[in-house]
Amino acid sequence: MSALDKKLLRDLKRLRGQVLAVAMVVACGIAVYVTMRSSYDSLLASQSSYYDRYRFSDIFAQVKRAPESVASEIAALEGVAAVETRVVMEVTLDVPDLDEPATGRLVSIPERREPILNDLHLRRGRWIEAGRRDEVIISEAFAEANHLEPGRSITAIINGRRERLQIAGIAISPEYVNEIRAADVFPDNRRFGVLWMSREALGSAFDMKGGFNDLSLRLAPQASEREVIDHLDSMLARYGCLGAYGRRDQLSHRFLEDEIAQDKITGIFVPSIFLAVAAFLIHMVLSRLVATERDQIAVMKAFGYTNQRIGFHYLKFALVTLLAGTAMGVPLGAWLGAGLAQLYSQFFRFPQLQFTVGPHVLWLAIAISAAAAFVGAISAVSRVAALPPAEAMRPEPPARFRRGLMERIGLQKLFSPAARMIVRNIERRPVKAILSISGIAFAVAILLVGRYFYDALDYLIEVQFRAVQREDVAVTFNNPRSSSARYDLARLPGVTRSETFRAVPVRLRFENRSRRVAILGIEPDGELRRLLDSRLRKVDLPPEGLVLTAKLAEILGVDCGDEVRVEVLEGARQARSVIVAGLIDEMIGLSAYMDLRALNRLMREGETISGAYLAVDREAAPALYSFLKRTPAVGGVAIREAMLDSFLETVAENLTISTGILIIFACVIAFAIVYNGARIALSERGHELASLRVIGFTRGEITVMLLGEQAALTLAAIPFGFALGYAICALLVWLTESELYRLPIVIRPESYFFAFGITAIAAFLSGLLVAHRLRNLDLVVVLKTRE
């Protein structure tokens, strides 16, 4: 080992506290990078092999009922590689050990195992037996949530009759990687499941013999999705097709794609922050090191060492530090990634989700941190090169202080000399101060973002599920019924209030834009469903015209007073013009509301309803649920609290984990910046502080002088951190805003306080660590030595 490398090792050892602090920041960044990049890779790889091997369809369409012969016509279309027709029906399930009724989506499969589109991957049990019409294969998520095993049975209400279904197997499908009901925002695997059942059994139960109501197809390579969809739409329109759609609009696929995209963004964004902070810290450490070793550099130059050789020596310091961080970050990332894969398996069902850290991830991690080391080292190294040997032998000239802003405004009178020292030290190196402030501000912002999800979710739940959707239970009938059914509903056990609604699938068209939605006709003086504007004020439902959510209006490009074309997608399928009478703000989905009576008039139907919202007495709820489970006319039951509970159970746990990680990361940043800042201040001003100790200042007094600068920088960073955090949250809202949901930008005061508190604690602790070193200050040496 060369003498210079020995010096490097000793320098690293001597400055181990600072080296470790920088390495920890790097470790966090690299860990996030490895986690996110690997999970992005594995999700993408798992998705593509799953889709491929199990033939996930490219285009989907639902019809009312079409004859099987249509399938061969479609198969003959240009660009279509394979077509699969199915019978798909949603029914009410009576699940053992579940009070409330659940919804089952029955999907037909051939009785004999053969390769089909959207094929099943059997996890346990077996395929259904030919001829046994009561056998089903159930989805894994549903089976796990309800502890169902092959051999057990569940009851479904099929076409008005209670049928006992035997569970033959448990499977997953590329169509339901993420199993979520169409109208829901969150998965609820307890109350919604997919059941695959013999085509013959479903065909006869739902009058679909020789026909189908669901079609999916795979495109030939290079086929145009748009053209095939257009063909399909025109061919299937007369069978009641509401419009064919591609994978982009397939629910499970869209959720998965969103997650993959998010991993990619997170995998770039978060590590960038950490490595930028690391580069800044290594810059501070190295600059100081070069400043204190001026004489050594001069001696080396005098002996004939080249600039490159010496410069590389200091660059190596940065490289070793950052690569040490990388060495810590990679296993940490692999560990976090394994945890994330575990977490994903709750939401995304793959035959296997293999989490591996590929060699390219490793190399990139090393390259990224090496690049950060270069960036951080560049100015210190170039200063080494610029130093002429003779100049370097002289001690560094005393720090030059000038009258600054404080004096010009005349503020210095307000400060004690100790406070003036702090202000002038900050003023003298504004860039360093700004970078420190930015770094700490990022820590504050990260904390705020971590808390934001809680706040936004709380607010969303509060508004959407307490102020807008106030019903306990929403009951939907199999088919629209006369409004007299409301009297039957009102008499059900435990029902304290019932309000009817009519839901009509339509296509809204304005100029060249259109969107498929359901118009929800509700009772204008209803209490269970309220329309609110953005400031949560109640909006009265106008007697005529549509009320749209702002997001839907934005998509259509309409405003109040515009006339939109309503194409009804059921019954006689008439089209009419309706005026947009109002806009409201909802955070979930796209909604169009109308007065129930106006909707009935628009449909040219009598008093017809699709279902009702019920307020239920808690005590009597079990009796009501058990009744609804047995009522054939009931097609679907949505229980607000149950859905919320199951959602919060999973989400709250995951949020706690991710917030915990964010807190640790933010602490590492705040800690590293303050610790390094204080250590460098100690190195720069140790002599000065020791002389103050000699002339009678106590240790406490000089501690304040040393750490005051860091405290001031931390305090200054807090408001910037708040603003930055708010901006990042707004950016996240903007990035994640979708038709499914829009997170509100709500950050509660407690969250600001939390971010402030954690940062302050991290800063304080690192300050204490440095203050401890003041104990060992050598007082005698300052009498004799020049700094």
Residues making contact with another protein (CB under 8 A): 397-403, 416-418, 420-421, 424-425, 428, 687-688, 691-699, 701, 779-780, 782-787
- Nearest residue to 24 (alpha-carbon basis) of 319, 337, 321, 289: 321
Taking the least distance from each CB to another protein, the nearer of 349 and 685 is 685
For residue 776, the minimal CB distance to another protein (Å) is 12
Distance of CA 626 to the CA centre of its chain: 36
Distance set, CA 70 to CA 66, 126, 734 (Å): 7, 32, 43
Q: How far apart are CA 155 and CA 287, in angstroms?
A: 74
Written as one string, the DSSP assignment of 21-51 is: HHHHHHHHHHHHHHHHHHHHHHHHHHHHHHH
Q: How far apart are CA 661 and CA 94, in angstroms?
A: 40
584 contact partners, CB below 8 Å, separation of at least 6? 531, 532, 533, 539, 547, 548, 549, 550, 591, 593
Bridge-partner residues for 136, per DSSP?
167, 197
Taking the least distance from each CB to another protein, the nearer of 698 and 738 is 698
Q: How far apart are CA 777 and CA 779, in angstroms?
A: 6
Taking the least distance from each CB to another protein, the nearer of 269 and 401 is 401
For residue 428, the minimal CB distance to another protein (Å) is 7
Residue 286: both structure tokens together: 């190295």
Distance of CA 565 to the CA centre of its chain: 36
Taking the least distance from each CB to another protein, the nearer of 534 and 698 is 698
- Sequence letter at residue 2: S
For 291: left if phi > 0, alpha if psi spans -120 to 50, otherwise beta; the answer is: alpha
Taking the least distance from each CB to another protein, the nearer of 162 and 699 is 699
- Tell me if residue 495 falls in helix, strand or coil: strand
- Find the farthest-apart pair of alpha carbons in the chain and give their distance in angstroms, rounded: 104
For residue 427, the minimal CB distance to another protein (Å) is 9
Taking the least distance from each CB to another protein, the nearer of 37 and 288 is 288
Taking the least distance from each CB to another protein, the nearer of 48 and 698 is 698
The C-alpha angle with vertex 721 and arms to 718 and 722, in degrees rounded to 5, equals: 90
For residue 714, the minimal CB distance to another protein (Å) is 20
For residue 680, the minimal CB distance to another protein (Å) is 15
Q: How far apart are CA 533 and CA 541, in angstroms?
A: 12
For residue 401, the minimal CB distance to another protein (Å) is 5
Q: How far apart are CA 205 and CA 547, in angstroms?
A: 39
Using an 8 Å Cβ cutoff, are 752 and 782 in contact?
no
Using an 8 Å Cβ cutoff, are 43 and 344 in contact?
yes
Alpha helices, DSSP H only, in 387-517? 389-393, 405-409, 417-428, 430-461, 485-490
- Tell me if residue 721 falls in helix, strand or coil: helix
Using an 8 Å Cβ cutoff, are 495 and 489 in contact?
yes
Taking the least distance from each CB to another protein, the nearer of 701 and 739 is 701
Taking the least distance from each CB to another protein, the nearer of 403 and 601 is 403
Other CB atoms within 10 A of residue 662 CB: 18
Q: What are phi and psi of 104, to 5 degrees?
A: -115, 135
Taking the least distance from each CB to another protein, the nearer of 76 and 780 is 780
Taking the least distance from each CB to another protein, the nearer of 69 and 416 is 416
For residue 302, the minimal CB distance to another protein (Å) is 25
Taking the least distance from each CB to another protein, the nearer of 73 and 391 is 391
- Nearest residue to 39 (alpha-carbon basis) of 270, 279, 193: 270
Taking the least distance from each CB to another protein, the nearer of 420 and 679 is 420
- Nearest residue to 351 (alpha-carbon basis) of 115, 122, 36: 122
Bridge-partner residues for 121, per DSSP?
172
For residue 693, the minimal CB distance to another protein (Å) is 7
Q: How far apart are CA 261 and CA 732, in angstroms?
A: 13
Taking the least distance from each CB to another protein, the nearer of 182 and 780 is 780
Q: How far apart are CA 109 and CA 112, in angstroms?
A: 8
For residue 687, the minimal CB distance to another protein (Å) is 7
For residue 416, the minimal CB distance to another protein (Å) is 7
For residue 433, the minimal CB distance to another protein (Å) is 14
Question: Any idea what DSSP says for residue 121?
Answer: E
Bridge-partner residues for 639, per DSSP?
473
**Distance in angstroms between the alpha carbons of the first and the last residue of the chain:** 32
- Sequence letter at residue 582: G
For residue 703, the minimal CB distance to another protein (Å) is 13
For residue 777, the minimal CB distance to another protein (Å) is 11
For residue 679, the minimal CB distance to another protein (Å) is 19
For residue 688, the minimal CB distance to another protein (Å) is 6
Taking the least distance from each CB to another protein, the nearer of 268 and 704 is 704
